[in-house]
Structure 1
C-alpha cells in the first residue's frame, strides 16, 4: 500500500464526520465515533484533529476555496476539500502528503471521478496561498452571523477575543478525587509517569496538563483517583459548598461530573436526576469508578410530583440545559448546529426549571444556577426574571476573583483563566 493510500483513511473519516455535522445535523462526537471505528488509534487521533480543525474554521475555509470552484460540489466532496485545505494551512503535514492522501481519499469515499478536482484545488491553494476573504467578522472568525451578533451584544468590550477563543484548542483539566488523594500527591504521580501539570487557578482540586493525553494513560483514572473536568465546571462544587449530611439535589446531573465533585467534597445525601436514562447510566458508572454513592432517578426535574418525596433540600445544583455556547472550543459543531430559536427555547426551559424546583428548596437553602452558555438570554436574564417573580428568592453575590459580574450572577468568557465559558448565580430562599 502506498503512503498516500495509507494516509487516505483518516482523511476520508474526517470528511465523513465533517459532512455528517454540516449536512446531516449530527453531533461531531457521534459522527466521529462512527467514522473512525475501523481506524488504528493513531489514525483516529489524526482524523479527529482534522475534523475538529476543519469545523472550527469551516466558514472561512469554504470561502477560501469558493473562487476555485464553478459550483459548490456535493457535500462529501466539499468536506474533503475543506479537510485538505485545513491540512495545508494549519497542520504539520508535509504539503505533498496532504495533497496526495486527500486525492487518494476520493476512492475510499466513492468519489474517484473527482480526483482531478481535488488535486487541482489543493495544488492551487498550495501554490497561491489563501485569498483574502474580507473583514466580515463571521468570515474572519468563522461563526454564523447570528451568533456573532449575539456575542457582540452581550460582550461589547470583548467580543472579538471571545470569537477567537472559540476557535482555540482547549487545555486538558483534571479534577483530583480528594477522597482518595490530594492534588499535590497526584501531581507527583503524574510527574513520575512523565506528565507535567500545574495547579488549575481558582479550582482547588484541579490540575492542568502541559500536554493533553489519552484518558487511558492517566495514572489512577480507572481506580478513581482523577476525572476530566474543565476548571469552570469545577467551580460549581465551591458554590454549592455541600456539608456532611445535607440533602442536596443535582437536578440535571448527567453525565455526573458535578455530582461526583459534590460527593468528593462532602458526605452529603445527594439525589441526582436526569431526563435521559442512558445518561443516568453513565452517571452511575462515573460514581462507581470514583467509589461514590448517590440516589439516582431518571426523571424530568420539572415534573416534581414524579420524583420528589416532599422533604426539602438544603441545596440544589441546577446545571441547566443550554446552547453550549461557552464550550464551542471543545465542541465546534455547536456553531453550525445551533439556531437562534434554540436560545429562546432553552431560556424558556430554564425558567420552567427554576419555577418547578424552587418549592423543593428549604427556607434558608441555596440554589446554584449554572450554564455553559455565554449568552445573557440563558444566564442573567432568566435568573433576574425569576427573582423578580419569586418574592422569597434573593441573589447571594458571588465573592470571587474569577470571571466578572453579570447583571445577576457572575460570568466567565471562554479562555479566561484557561476555562470554558460559563455562568453562575447563587439564589437563597428567605427563611419563613
Structure 2
C-alpha cells in the first residue's frame, strides 16, 4: 500500500470500501502519458492526511489502475492503457503526475464507460480533475452504455433491431426481417450507415436509391400487444402523419392509427415511447410512411422497436463523472443494480483539467458507484479528460 493510503486516519470500514474498488470495470478509457510532473499542472495534489485517491492513473500506484481493470476488445476500437504512443499531452494541462484518462483515442465517435464496484459513502465529497467535452447528464434521460457494437444496452430481445446478426455488418432484405415494403421500398434492405443514437449496426432507412425522392411504406408483421409500452428509436424528417408529404412511423391497432412519431430533421435517432396499455391483447402493426419526395429531410429512420413495461426517456448523451446509488445483487449484471444519479460533473470544452466536486452528503452511509461516461459521438469535444478521482471531506476548489 502506498504512503498516501497508509496516512489515512479512517475507520476500518472506510478502508474496506477502498479495497472493494479494486475490482472496477473499464471500457474505452485510455490512460495517456504526458509531460513531466513539474510542468504538467499547477493544481494542488490531494491532502495526504484527509483524502483517499480512487484513481490517479499512474502505473506504479496502488489505486484501481493496473490489472484490476479490464478492457473489452470492442468494435469501438478502445484499448486499455497506459500507452506511451499517444501525444495529446502536448496541449492538456491541469493533471497530476504523468498519466491521465483520455477517451478520445483518435476519434470523438469513440465511446466508453467505467463503473466502480459498490462502496459506502463515508466521505462528504467526490473530487475530480476534469476537462474535455461539456455534455452534461440529463436528469431522467436514458444513458447509452456502449458495448462492441456502438450502443447496445437492451437486456431483452427487440421486436425489431434490423440486424442480420451480431458478427458484423450485414445488408439483408427487410422482408427477411419481417418488414414488407411497397412503392419504391418493395425490395428495400436494412441500412448499415451509422447514425447518432442507433443501437447496433443496422437500421431501417427510407433514404435508398435516390434517397429523398423515394416514396412508399414499410410495414411490420402483425403482432399482439402484450406489454404496456412500445419504445422505438426515430430519426430523419419531421413531417407529421396527416400533413402533405408525411415522413412518419405509425402504430396501427385493429387497422386504425393510434400513435405516430417523426424525426426532428436530423440524422440523430432518439426514443419515442407509445403508451399502449389501452390495447393490451389487440393485434397491431408498425408502419413507416414516406410520402415526401423533396430534399428537405424527405426520409425517415427507425431502430430497435421494443415491447417493455416502462417508457424510455430521450438519450442522455454525456461526457462526465456521475455518482449513483447502488444495490448489490448477485443475480444482476455485474452484481449490482444501479439506482438514481446523485450528482454529476462534466468537462469544460477545453483541454485544461480543472477541479470539480460531487456532494455525497445527501447519501451518507448509503451504497454508491462512481461512473466515468463518454457516450457522446459528436465532433464538438466528444471526449473526456479525467484525473485524480478522490474521496474527501473537503470540496475541491476551482
Instruction: Report TM bin, short chain.
Output: under 0.3
TM-score by length of 1: 0.21
The structure richer in strand per residue is: 2
TM-score by length of 2: 0.22
